[in-house]
């Protein structure tokens, strides 16, 4: 019974069927196929504005290619101290950019705060050329703590960012979960709120391996990102298989339906944990991740009972439980029953 990661869930049958269909016959290579060429129009419709889209296979490559285009090697990327780009990408953004420095900042619930961000950006250049120059702000939606930025919160961060001549990037590995949780449109929490570039993720949400870099209002950035994608070895010759997955996820709002199921299971899990006297929630549950605090002995007992989940690094009493499109309600119930049994 796996709550370890939505990365470990299978691909959705609709995605597999799309791959079978894309496998028929020959197709132009290197992102010039009909599936890849359809992405700009489909994403422009989804986001209610003209978009330029680059398909890519991994979230790390999407984040790093985008950030590298937005920041010079002497630049600084302001991000939350728990951000995936800071803790889980092995220096890829710095590597792709040729040395741009990630500057981690604190903030409640895994979120940057506009006022603190403004202070950090303003303080960063006090020593002129001796300091890295803030160039990009990157936020994660949903965050590494399973929380979501509201449109107003993003707008406040964007105002701080743009007033200082910086660009705003969003790591949307779990973007679908945030859209469903907030009950808003994709546009409301991206370009309408001031986001310049989005790393649009679907791998965690039912795809096999498919992400996209979505650029709002800056088409001049696309060539540089495309060249960086190629130089980094992420321009797949058979890109049709990535693009076909993206299109399949958008068909009939499948991406939102799958995220909605995952979110519902996370809320089911959270409500059960709240009823247990020997466990508690560390952060609000606003997407598909649940962070549960409990005695290390209880967590190990749950692992011994066959439940897989992630012990948060540096915290032997904090478990991350992730629900996916494939998490059945009865699996959540079995976990909660086991949790209550360890409390007696």
| Global confidence as pTM | 0.96
- Which residues, 6+ apart, have CB-to-CB distance to 275 below 8 Å? 340
Name the phi and psi angles at 209, rounded to 5. -165, 95
Q: Enter the DSSP assignment of 251.
A: G
pLDDT recorded at residue 250? 98
What is the mean pLDDT of each successive set of 10 residues along the chain, which is 344 residues long?
96 98 97 98 98 97 97 97 96 95 97 98 85 95 98 98 98 98 98 98 98 96 97 97 98 98 98 95 98 96 95 94 98 96 68
Nearest in space to 68 (alpha carbons), one of 160, 203, 189, 197: 197
What angle do helix axes 254-274 and 329-342 make, rounded to 10 degrees? 20
pLDDT recorded at residue 343? 58
Domains, the chain, ordered by start: 10-253 (3.40.640.10), 255-342 (3.90.1150.10)
């Amino acid at each position: 019974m796996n709550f370890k990661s939505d990365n470990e869930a299978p691909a959705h049958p609709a995605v597999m069927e799309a791959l079978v269909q894309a496998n028929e016959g020959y197709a132009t290579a290197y992102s010039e196929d009909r599936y890849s060429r359809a992405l700009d129009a489909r994403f422009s419709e989804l986001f209610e504005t003209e978009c330029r889209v680059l398909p890519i296979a991994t979230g790390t490559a999407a984040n790093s290619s985008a950030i590298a285009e937005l920041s010079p090697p002497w630049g600084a990327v302001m991000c939350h101290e728990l951000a995936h780009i800071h803790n889980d990408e092995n220096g890829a953004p710095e590597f792709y950019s040729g040395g741009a420095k990630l500057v981690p900042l604190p903030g409640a619930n895994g979120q940057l705060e506009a006022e603190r961000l403004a202070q950090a950006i303003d303080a960063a250049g006090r020593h002129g050329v001796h300091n890295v120059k803030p160039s990009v702000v990157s936020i994660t939606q949903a965050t590494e703590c399973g929380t979501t930025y509201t449109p107003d919160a993003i707008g406040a961060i964007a105002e701080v960012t743009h007033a200082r001549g910086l660009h705003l990037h969003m790591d949307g590995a779990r973007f679908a979960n945030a859209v469903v949780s907030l009950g808003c449109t994709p546009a409301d929490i991206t370009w309408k709120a001031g986001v310049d570039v989005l790393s649009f993720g679907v791998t965690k949400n039912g795809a096999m391996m498919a992400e996209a870099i979505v650029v709002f209002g800056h088409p001049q950035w696309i060539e540089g990102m495309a060249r960086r994608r190629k130089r980094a070895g992420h321009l797949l010759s058979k890109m049709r298989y990535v693009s076909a997955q993206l299109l399949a996820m958008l068909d009939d709002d499948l991406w939102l339906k799958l995220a909605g199921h995952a979110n519902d299971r996370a809320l089911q899990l959270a409500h059960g944990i709240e009823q247990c006297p020997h466990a508690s929630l560390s952060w609000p549950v606003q997407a598909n991740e649940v962070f549960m605090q409990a005695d290390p002995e209880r967590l190990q007992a749950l692992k011994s009972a066959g439940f897989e989940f992630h012990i948060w690094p540096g915290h032997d009493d904090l478990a991350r439980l992730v629900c996916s499109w494939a998490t059945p309600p009865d699996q959540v119930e079995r976990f909660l029953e086991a949790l209550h049994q360890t409390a007696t």
